[in-house]
Amino acid sequence: MRGGNLKYRLLIGAAIALFFIFKRCSQQEVNPYTGRTQTISMSPENEIAIGLQSAPQMAEQHGGLHPNNQYQALVDNVGEKLVNNSIARETPYRYEFHLLNDPNTINAFALPGGQIFITYALFSQLENEDQLAGVLGHEIGHVLGRHSAERIAESEYWQGLTTAGAVGADMGGLVGSIGQNTLLTNGRDDELESDDLGVKFMIKAGYNPQEMIGVMKILKAAAGPNRVPEFQSTHPDPDNRIEKIQNAIEKYRNE
**Does some domain include residue 167?**
yes
Pairing relationship of beta strands 28-30 and 96-100 according to DSSP bridges? unpaired
Identify the pLDDT of residue 148. 79
Decide if pLDDT at 25 tops 60: no
Task: For 129-164, write each residue's pLDDT tens digit.
Answer: 999 999 999 999 999 988 877 777 666 544 544 554
Identify the pLDDT of residue 76. 98
Residue 4: pLDDT band (50, 70, 90) is low
The whole model's pTM is what?
A: 0.77
Task: For 43-73, write each residue's pLDDT tens digit.
Answer: 889 888 888 988 999 999 999 999 999 999 9
Decide if pLDDT at 252 tops 70: yes
Task: For 242-251, write each residue's pLDDT tens digit.
Answer: 999 999 999 9
Domain of 156 in residue numbering reads as 2-29+39-253
**Does some domain include residue 34?**
no
**What's the domain count of the chain?**
1
- At residue 51, φ and ψ (nearest 5 deg) are -65, -45
Identify the pLDDT of residue 185. 40
Task: For 208-225, write each residue's pLDDT tens digit.
Answer: 999 999 999 998 888 766
**Does some domain include residue 215?**
yes
Question: d(Cα 52, Cα 68) in Å, to the nearest integer?
Answer: 22
194-195-200 Cα angle (round to 5): 95
CA 199 to chain centroid: 16
When pLDDT is averaged across residues 226-231 and rounded to a whole number, the result is 50
Task: For 93-126, write each residue's pLDDT tens digit.
Answer: 999 999 999 999 898 999 889 999 999 999 999 9
**Does some domain include residue 49?**
yes
Identify the pLDDT of residue 120. 97
Question: d(Cα 171, Cα 93) in Å, to the nearest integer?
Answer: 40
Question: d(Cα 7, Cα 11) in Å, to the nearest integer?
Answer: 6
Task: For 177-207, write each residue's pLDDT tens digit.
Answer: 433 343 334 467 888 999 999 999 999 999 9
**Does some domain include residue 131?**
yes
**Three-class SS state of 109:** strand
